[in-house]
Every structure is written in structure tokens, then in C-alpha cells.
Amino acid sequence: MEEKEKHILVGEVIPIEHGLISSPIDAPRRRTLQNFQKKIGVTFNSLELLNVALTHSSYSRYYDKVFDDNEKLEYMGDAVLELASSTYIFKKFPSLDEGELTKLRASVVCQSTLSKIAKRLKIGNIIQFDYGESSSGGATRESNLEDAFESVIGAIYLDCGWETARGFVFEQLAPEFKNLSDENIADELQKMVRKNLSDYKSTLQEILMKDNPNVRIEYVELSASGPPHLPTFEFAVKIDDKIMGKGVGNSKKSAEQVAAKKALQKLENQQKKSETED
């Protein structure tokens, strides 16, 4: 059996709070992190925590995981983002009911928005990737940008507290709501929901056909219920006769889109698991 190549790490890893370990930070990396915190208006007590937030799993795996990547901070940031964005929307649009608030949050606080914010902050330029991920477009991949942005939120929360994290989220989300008010939100919400439900099927098809042009993708209705004016449909998406995702919606199209989204998430999780096992 061929011996695995050993990758030599320059510098010492840095144990920090919350059970995390940062990769070594040389002088240029420290300047990069300092410049980034100035850009976002947050002063970290621990730049090492910010460094972990901007470390992709591929970089950690390259060095046999002797330090942490941003996946745990992403988990924390996702929870903080949900509460902070919910607070923002709740206060800004008092006329919306619970269901409408949920739809608005899902329509705005989604991968396309979060990756757009990350691009605005140029986060992709300072994430640590291994060569393979970097050379294949990792710095512009929406999933990487979304994860890193959420990780930064998690790092801000752990290092600086809730008020600072909430303020950061409010500031970054504000441009996404600049043309919305409590007076026009009802009409705009419908447009936003329709727009953000339009991508998952085409994205799934593009990804699958890239690897296998002959792949069979089929959307199957599993159930239909409710009164005629408010029906509920459940659909499954089958890939080569195997169910990869299920979705529920108030129309057949929306249920199909949710199923496609679930399939995309499942494929991404499978890819991450495969990379980890390698």
C-alpha cells in the first residue's frame, strides 16, 4: 500500500478558546486578518478565531486536520444569523403574520444573498483553501462563500457577544431590504418567493448532467391534499429511479423546487462525506 504523502506545516498551531485550534498565522496572514476586521468594523480579541472562520475544510484536511476549519463556527453562525435576521424582519415589517415572516426570511436569507454579501466583503479572497479547491474555483463557489460568511458571524458572536453579532448582521442585511417597506412588502414578497424558487431544478439538472449526460431525472407526485383554494402537494425527485429529495408546496412547481433543493443538499453532504473519508 502506497504511503500517504506527508504535508509539512510551517509554524505552530494555536490553541484558542471554545476548544478550537487555529492554523499558524504568519505576518502577512495577520495583516490580512487585521485589514478584514477593519473593513467589517469589528475588532476581534482573538484574530485566531477569525482565522479559523476563514479556513476551509480542504486546507485543514491537507494538513491532516491538526487544526480546525470553519465548519463548527458555521454551525454557530447559522443559529445566530437566524435569530438576528428574524429580529430584523420582525421589527421592520410589523404588518406581516408568522407565515409571511418565515417566507420573507427564507426568500432573502438564502445562499444567493449570503454569497453576494460575502462577495461584497471579498471574503473569498482570504479563505484558506488547499490547491485543489482553490484552483477549481473554490473562492467564488457560492456554498463556500455562504459557509464562510456564517462562520464569520459565529466567530463574532463567540468573540464579541450577541450585540456585536446582531449589529453586524443588521448592517449586512440592510441593503437587501432597502427598497422594501411595510406598505409594499405584501406584493414584493410574492415576487421574491417566485424568484427564489426558480433556480433549484435547473441547478440540479446542470450538476447531474455535467457528470452524466444520460442521467434520468424525474419528479413524481406523492400526494395532494387540502381544499381547492389552498392545496398542498408533495413531490419527490428521482435520480436514476432513486429518490433523492422530497418537497411540499402549495403548487406542484413549488413542491418540485423544494424537492430539488433537498436533493442538492443531499448531494453536497455526500460529497463532503466522501472528501472526509479520502
H/E run at residue 194: helix 185-196
* Position 224, amino acid: A
Domain with CATH 1.10.1520.10 in the chain: 14-192
H/E run at residue 219: strand 217-225
H/E run at residue 87: helix 71-92
Given a contact cutoff of 8 angstroms between Cβ atoms, the answer to whether 171 and 89 are in contact is no
Active site residue 150: yes
Classify residue 266 as left (phi > 0), alpha (psi -120 to 50) or beta.
Answer: alpha
What is the reported pTM? 0.70
Taking only the tens place, the pLDDT of each residue in 34-73 is 999 999 999 999 999 999 999 999 999 999 999 999 999 9
**For residue 11, what is the DSSP state?**
S
Active site residue 48: no
Residue-averaged pLDDT of the chain: 87
Specify the CATH number of the domain 14-192: 1.10.1520.10
Taking only the tens place, the pLDDT of each residue in 83-136 is 999 999 999 888 888 877 877 887 788 878 899 999 999 999 999 999 888 998
**What's the pLDDT at 218?**
94
Specify the CATH number of the domain 199-277: 3.30.160.20
Counting Cβ atoms within 10 Å, is residue 81 exposed (0-12), middle (13-18) or buried (19+)? buried
**For residue 63, what is the DSSP state?**
T
H/E run at residue 36: helix 27-40
Domain with CATH 3.30.160.20 in the chain: 199-277
Catalytic residue of the set 48, 69, 150, 256: 150
Top pLDDT among 41 and 232 is at 41
H/E run at residue 223: strand 217-225
